[in-house]
Structures are given as structure tokens and as C-alpha cells.
Amino acid sequence: MPRPLRVLFVLLPAVAFAAVGAVYLAGRWDEPTPPTATAPATGRLVVVAVFDQMRGDYPTRWAKLYGPNGFARISRDGVTYTNARLPYSCSSTAPGHASIGTGMPPSVHGIIENRWFDRTRHAEVLSTTSFRQTARVPKGDLDIGDGFTPEQLLCDGIGDRLKKADPTARVFSLALKDRAAALLGGKKPDGVYCFDTFAGEFHTTSYYRDAPHKWVTAFNDSKAADRWFTKKWDRLGDEAAYTAAVGPDDAPGETQYDRDFRTGGLVGYGSTFPHPLNIDAQKYPNKRYYERLEASPFGNELLWQFARGCIDAERLGDGTTDLLFLGFSSNDTVGHKWGPDSHEVLDTTLRTDELIAAMIDHLDKTVGRERYTLIVTADHGICPLPEASAKDHPDAVRFDPRPEFGPDGLGKVLNETFGELDPTGFGWFERLDRDFSPWVYLNRRAIKAHGADPAEVAAFAAKWAANRPHMHTAYPAAVLAGPPAADPLVRSAQLGYHPDRCGDVYLIPKPYCLPLGERSLGTSHGSPHAYDTHVPLMAIGGGVPKAGVIDAAVNSLAVAPMIAAALGLDPAAGWVGLPPGRGK
């Protein structure tokens, strides 16, 4: 069995859902029936910081390079779980944020990917798609398309549970990415804002409110996002230390170019430091600059400035029990371009450590040490660059799956096996992805009209797909819709499956084999392999036990009862619990 999959076996006990309540906050780990936490009468603020694509080994991998007041402070004065894993297979941004915001897996909340095929509408649906008219707020000159919403969520978020329990409570969700902000915040938050790379400002949509909060308008008017326009992104520390930690700066497979949003041409951004943010000597900040800002650690700094304005202007935690979600997306855009073993990811993580220290310091001073809880986690990890993996993993390669799983591959095989449906082979599919999707959507109606059984065709297609050179395995929908499987890999795929949204065959590439899609360089995520499912999980603040470092395997969905306990909420049915034991 490939090593990245072995770790899934340790998750089997964790995927049995059990409530945890306030054991986490009270510091009592072995009570059979945990008590319910009660928030202080003076108010409380719970901040959930989600760092997109911050893999779970980063906080310990480079521990010697961090300062004393970020990751180290949390481990010293709070709790750090070093072995938290996603229990579901779809390790993408939208499912990850929806799972953190609801405490449920994709099989329940329905966010199976960043986008999927809607059979009822015969169209692609984004995770934040609205089927009613919504507009950007504030409306700008570069307003394009409909606004983002949480309407695709099939269950309430933790913020919704808080507001039902306490109507005076306030819930805000702020992020760089729209899907991060919308899916963390739940259905009825007080404010949801994301960053617009066209205009260089934070905005919301008419789903949430008709006008932005005054502090948002003031922040946008300050042109805070333009602060780095004339700057270059360079290393925070010494180049030699970076090279000793991760290898040379210029590594094979790193992204060297971006595509110009206006012309479609390639623009040099460079695979080595320093990286200028205004790469084409523009006189004024534009979309190209704002995209590079987001693809640098300065995007995270911008979001924290924005969040700090929210905390201070709204007086969060002052007399009320409030919840603030923060989606730091820059780690993801950096990781996609340069990979997890790059100087750029190391530098971004070092700056993340400093950012966490700044967050703790601000919360200590403005809210008070005993009146806030800060929880830090991530939505998913990341695959190493295949070029970097090839030495230890000979199968590591970039491959294009589309010819095999399109009309000329699988389509022709189905024609040969079940009789010709149409000469091109296209008729077997209801939808073909423009880049790699883990789902094959068969044309069930055409297959039935052809006299074949769609379930039989799906079973055959899955068996055929599992034997392709770069595929680890594949499952037909019938297996994923069946009873909970004992096999942890099958179970993880089941927890990522929703019958109304997923396709007929689920494809899992081999470890370290990266589907090309639209990426010929850089890297991606989305698999159930260990490098994609390993995430950090840590907490500090009032009521958090000083449990230190805990290495026991933890289901990442345990973040939900941690949040609930900090808010004084009873855990919801179906939430997972934390393992017993104290830190070392």
C-alpha cells in the first residue's frame, strides 16, 4: 500500500461521529458526558483563522525558524494537534471551508468541490452560485456577474446555530476568496466580505446587505490595498537558512509566468526572489497588481488589517458572544505557484507565524486574554511538485487524464463493450470537464435508451479507470452511496459523496501523480492522499487547556465542537470528538 494512504487507516476510529461538548475548554479529557460550557457574562469573541493550503507539517517542520510568539506561543499556552486529518476525500478549498464552518463532511453540507455539474440545469455550478439575482455591494465600475452567496450549503453553519441560541450574538466572515468567506459564515451572518482583485477593495453582495458597513467603506477609501504597489516581495530571513531548510530557490516545476487577464499572454513573475508586485511598470494599481498582492504574504497582511478594523469598530466580544471567521488565502496562491518545498512557501509560513503573533497580541490587548479564543486550522494541504518527488517516488509525474477519460479513451471502450452508442464516443458522457475533475458524469438517459444499465456501465468504467497507468483506484457511485465502508479510503470517498451533485465514477490518481488540467507548472491538491489531508489544528485563549502538543490522530472536523465549546453552545448531532489524552 502506498505510504500516503496508510495514514488513512489511523482515521478509522475518528470518522465515527460523536459529540465532544466542552471537554476541550474545560481541560477535562476523560469525562464520559462532558458538561456544557458557559460564556462569560462580560462577552466573548471566538476567532477562527483558516490558512488556505497550510499543510499540517509546516508548524513543526520549520519550528527552529519561528519566533516565540506565534506557533510556539500556542503550543506553550494552548493546545496543538500535530496529526489532524481530513476524513473526506475532496481536499479542495470550498469543501474545506464549508466543513470548518458547519462541522459536517461534504456528504452532508453538499459542497463537494469548488464547482460541479448540476444535472437538473445541465450547467456548471460554483460553490457560491446563486440562482436568484444578487449584486456586488458596493456596486463598482468593474462589477461582473452575480454576487457570491452561501445558498449551495445544505445545512446550517456554526454561526447560524450561535445566532439561534443567542440573537444578540454577531457573526462575521472575512476572507480574500469569496468561497472562503461565504462558506465559513453560514446562511445568516451579520457581515461577509471578500477581496475584489478588479477594484482592489473588499465587498459583499446583496444577499447579505444593501450597503457595506461604515468601517468597510472607510477601509476601502483609505486605499489600504495599494500600500505594496511599489514594493518587492523578498525573503524575511537569510537566503542560506532558506536553502538549508527547503533546498535551492530555483527548483524545477515552479511557476515562472502568469497569464495576463487582458491579453491572455504570459507575463514573467519569476521563480526566484525577489518578486515585484508591479511587474509591468504600471503607473497605478490594477488587477494584475492586486492578483500578485493576493499571491504574496502581503495579501494575508491586508486581510488582518481589515479584520482588525472589524474587531475594533464592531467591538466584538464586548458584552456579547461573537464569532469571527478569517480566511487567509495567500498561502494557497503561493503554494500553487511554487510548491510546498519552495523558498516562497517557507517565507509565507514564517510571515504567517508573525501574523499569528500579531493576532494574539491584538486580541490580548483589545478583548482580553480570558475573553477570546483563537483557533487556527486549514482547509487542506498540498501535493509536492512531481519534479521534487521523483527521486523518492518513481511514479511521480504530471499527466493529462483528459484523453483517457474522454470520448477517445473511455468513450471508445464503452462503445466496444456495450455496443456503439455513437461513433464519436461522446454520447456516453453528460459532461466533459475542461480540466481534470475527479468525477465522471455519465449520460444516464442516453445509456438507458441504448438498452444498457447505467449502474453496470459505471461499475465497468470504474474498474477500467482503476487500471490506467496514473490512477490509484476508482469507485462507482453505487459503492459510495452504500453503507459505511470499513476500508478507510472508501469511507473517505463516501464522506465526500453527495448523490445529487457527484458524478457516476470517482477517480483517485496515484500518490504524487499530478493531473495537468490547466496547470503545466506549479502544483495542486484535491486527493485523499496524506499530503493533501494533513492540516494544522491549534487553539489558545481563555478556557483553552494548556495541553501542549498532542500527536494522536485527530479528525479535522473536531474543530466544530472546539468552536461550539468556546461559544458556550451544545455540540450538534453528527459532530466528531477529540481523542482523550494530554500533551507532552
Distance, first Cα to last Cα, the chain: 31
Grid cell of 209 as nine digits = 446587505
Strand-strand pairing, 171-175 and 191-196 = parallel
Taking the C-alpha atoms of residue 268 and residue 276, their distance in angstroms, rounded to an integer, is: 10
pLDDT in tens, the chain (584 residues): 443 333 332 333 333 333 333 334 433 322 223 233 344 447 899 999 999 999 999 999 999 999 999 999 999 999 999 999 999 999 999 999 999 999 999 999 999 999 999 999 999 999 999 888 888 999 865 545 567 999 999 999 999 999 999 999 999 999 999 999 999 999 999 999 999 999 999 999 999 999 999 999 999 999 999 999 999 999 999 999 999 999 999 999 998 766 554 545 445 577 899 998 987 778 899 988 999 999 999 999 999 999 999 999 999 999 999 999 999 999 999 999 999 999 999 999 999 999 999 999 999 999 999 999 999 999 999 999 999 999 999 999 999 888 899 999 999 999 999 999 999 999 999 988 766 789 999 999 999 999 999 999 999 999 999 999 999 999 999 999 999 999 999 999 999 999 999 999 999 999 999 997 655 789 999 999 999 999 999 999 998 999 999 999 999 999 999 999 999 999 888 888 776 544 33
Domains of the chain, each with CATH number or no CATH: 3-132+151-228+286-382+527-567 (3.40.720.10), 402-469+471-509 (3.30.1360.150)
Grid cell of 559 as nine digits = 474543530
Instruction: State residue 501's pLDDT score.
Output: 97
Taking the C-alpha atoms of residue 88 and residue 509, their distance in angstroms, rounded to an integer, is: 16
Taking the C-alpha atoms of residue 83 and residue 526, their distance in angstroms, rounded to an integer, is: 19
Distances (CA, A) of 254 to 67, 84, 86, 522: 28, 28, 27, 5
Grid cell of 517 as nine digits = 488540467
Instruction: State residue 257's pLDDT score.
Output: 63
CA torsion 73→76→78→80, rounded to 10°? 90
Grid cell of 154 as nine digits = 445544505
List the beta bridge partners of residue 515. Answer: 399
Instruction: State residue 34's pLDDT score.
Output: 29
> Which one, of 555, 455, 558, lies nearest residue 504 by Cα?
455
Distances (CA, A) of 197 to 174, 203, 333: 15, 11, 13
Burial 546-568 (b: 16+ CB within 10 A, else e): ebebbeebbbbbbbbbbbbbbbb
Instruction: State residue 408's pLDDT score.
Output: 94
